[in-house]
Amino acid sequence: MPVLNAEIAAMFDQTAELLEIDGANPFRVRAYRRAARVIDALPQSVESMLAAGKDLSELPGIGKDLAGKIAEIVRTAKFPLLESLKRKLPGDLVEIAGIPGLGPKRVKLLFTRARVRTLEDLRRAARSGRLRRLEGFGPKVEQNILAALAKRVGTEKRTKLSVAEGEADAFVRYLQAGSPRWRVVAAGSFRRRRETVGDLDFLVTASNARAVADRFVGYENVAEVRTHGPERATVILRSGLQADLRVVHDASYGAALLYFTGSKPHNIALRGVANEHDWKLNEYGLFAGNRRIAGATEEDVYRKLGLDFVPPELREDRGEIDRARARRLPRLITLADIRGDLHTHTKWTDGNATVAEMAGAAKARGYEYLAVTDHSRKVTVAHGLDPRQLSRQLDEIDRVNDKLDHFVVLKGIELDILPDGRLDLPDMILSRLDIVVAAVHSGFDLPREKQTARVIRAMDSRRVSIIAHPTGRLIGERDPYEIDIERIIEAARERGCHLELNAQPDRLDLNEVHARAAKEAGVKLAISSDAHSTATLDWVRFGIDQARRGWIEPDDVINTRPLAALRKSLKR
């Protein structure tokens, strides 16, 4: 039974949470958290690496002990340590620790002092006012907990795109191995590259639909078969993600792909265009009466309707139909347009690779430049740099650049914005940098007006090049902090500052709506990976997905520019 990287990473993350709640050695807790990040970011599956005879202990942060545990998980799909911790610390403690404002230390208090084991226990304790008796709790914390619990009720469970991608790609490969004649594609919100996915929709063309459906339900990662018909099937995967199958004939493939890709509002708008011609559009094709006039490809359907082809990322009924009719759709950015990465980390703070290793990996990707932007001193958990340490790093970057041809490492910093809007490092050291990426890493609970003023004050400094992950959200884990993003966009435009679209799959911040708003205001974006390893430089592609959903074109992004033009745009 294949075990996905995301499953192993989730096991290690849960282990770290429960170990911390149990009072384990902090170094042990950090080891599991770091290992989870490393595994989740690997460009190939751990299973294939082991099959190829690779030594996992050579990966950063993975020693012999953890390598052995990973191999055991791949072999058995179980992690005995996690199971023992769950028996020792029963209930919903991992989920409780994920509630904004809690975390392992507070959960330990809830577990040992308030006898909280489940989400329902937590709800009762918060409603009764018992929590405010605990150290570090109070009425505001109780209110936040109740609001977070209320938000969970009736909320559709969604999976981050990066995790869903691992599931979808493995399932597609499995289905394609059934026959070289089968055409297999993952459709739905996954194909539209939404940042989270509710379920997976697989479309297959085949003459023998029953054979496809039988293979579909026989997939090793299937935990439950919900339906199993001759042309359709629904299963629940071991991860809890639902997967749906539809088998169609070649003549209907394009129409079916349109239908199952969605979105529903886009499909309704397309049917409205068809109705203008007294035609009918459905999952089987575009029909004039009983005669199919298009349907074999999506391009044929759009062309027959008098529209340019609409990329899947734009199919949300946000004006794309009118633009397609007028032949004015944007030329969306692609990964090939990116010339460099402007937000990365190294071993100087919380990264896993040296400056030289990050530069080599970026150059191997075909980039022209890479900005090293390690954390400033305020972020103590990441061993942030003070002026003296940053100065030493700049000297190292000079040495690395001396050895590189046709590639430049830019000197930068991810600079903390203090609660009053001041910057974490003095102007004297900032003046030596090529790029300053300013970010909020604390004080998330500031009122909206103060949070907005804080970031705008930081932009007042001409040293600040880019505002990183401008809303501070972590998808499914932490809501955006209260901030007036419209004012931030306007302030960035007035000051000639840029905004980041952070491509880290947990962030994808700016979101698609804010990215489009920035574009329409004339504010340029930087699509950066926030990579902490050479492998996670690949995360830029998730930022490209998000940018495309925001109608972003190459000229809207500063790191599509050659180095000389980039340097000019970074100067305030």
CA pair distance 415, 374, nearest whole angstrom:
8
- Residue 462 within any structural domain of the chain: yes
For residue 542, give its domain range: 335-570
Same domain, 438 and 468: yes
Q: pLDDT value at position 147? A: 82
Same domain, 432 and 317: no
Kindly indicate the confidence band of residue 558, based on its pLDDT and cuts at 50, 70 and 90.
Answer: very high
CA pair distance 5, 70, nearest whole angstrom:
10
- Residue 340 within any structural domain of the chain: yes
Same domain, 467 and 479: yes
CA pair distance 372, 13, nearest whole angstrom:
27
Kindly indicate the confidence band of residue 4, based on its pLDDT and cuts at 50, 70 and 90.
Answer: confident
Q: Which two structure tokens, joined as six digits, stand for 444?
A: 């998330």
- Final residue belonging to a domain, choices 278, 301, 325: 325
- Residue 565 within any structural domain of the chain: yes
CA pair distance 159, 149, nearest whole angstrom:
19
Same domain, 376 and 439: yes
CATH code at position 35? 1.10.150.110
- Residue 330 within any structural domain of the chain: no
Q: pLDDT value at position 153? A: 63
- Final residue belonging to a domain, choices 248, 277, 294: 248
Peptide bond before 391: cis, by omega within 30 degrees of 0?
A: no
Same domain, 87 and 63: yes
Same domain, 304 and 379: no
Sheet holding 291-294, edge to edge: 280-282, 285-288, 291-294
The per-residue pLDDT for range 166-198, each reduced to its tens digit, is: 999 999 999 999 999 999 999 999 999 999 999
Q: pLDDT value at position 1? A: 59
Same domain, 557 and 411: yes
User: What number is the average pLDDT over the span 138-150?
Assistant: 82
Domain count, the chain: 4
Same domain, 295 and 411: no
The per-residue pLDDT for range 431-458, each reduced to its tens digit, is: 999 999 999 999 998 999 999 999 999 9
Residue holding tokens 């082809």?
Answer: 309
CA pair distance 2, 548, nearest whole angstrom:
32
Stronger pLDDT, 93 or 259, i.e. the higher one: 259
The per-residue pLDDT for range 86-118, each reduced to its tens digit, is: 888 777 887 787 777 777 788 888 888 888 888
The per-residue pLDDT for range 68-89, each reduced to its tens digit, is: 999 999 988 889 999 898 888 7
- Residue 217 within any structural domain of the chain: yes
User: What number is the average pLDDT over the span 272-301?
Assistant: 96
Q: Which amino acid is at 367?
A: Y
- Final residue belonging to a domain, choices 94, 129, 152: 152
Q: Are 531 and 493 contacting, i.e. CB atoms less than 8 angstroms apart? A: no
Kindly indicate the confidence band of residue 155, based on its pLDDT and cuts at 50, 70 and 90.
Answer: low
Q: What percent of the chain is predicted at pLDDT more than 70?
A: 99
Same domain, 211 and 282: no
User: What number is the average pLDDT over the span 505-530?
Assistant: 96
Same domain, 371 and 415: yes
Find the range with the poorest average confidence among 43-47, 164-168, 363-367, 403-407: 43-47
Output phi, psi for 232, to 5 deg: -140, 155
CA-CA-CA-CA dihedral for 375, 378, 383, 389, to nearest 10: 70
CA pair distance 188, 121, nearest whole angstrom:
37
Residue holding tokens 């919900």?
Answer: 226
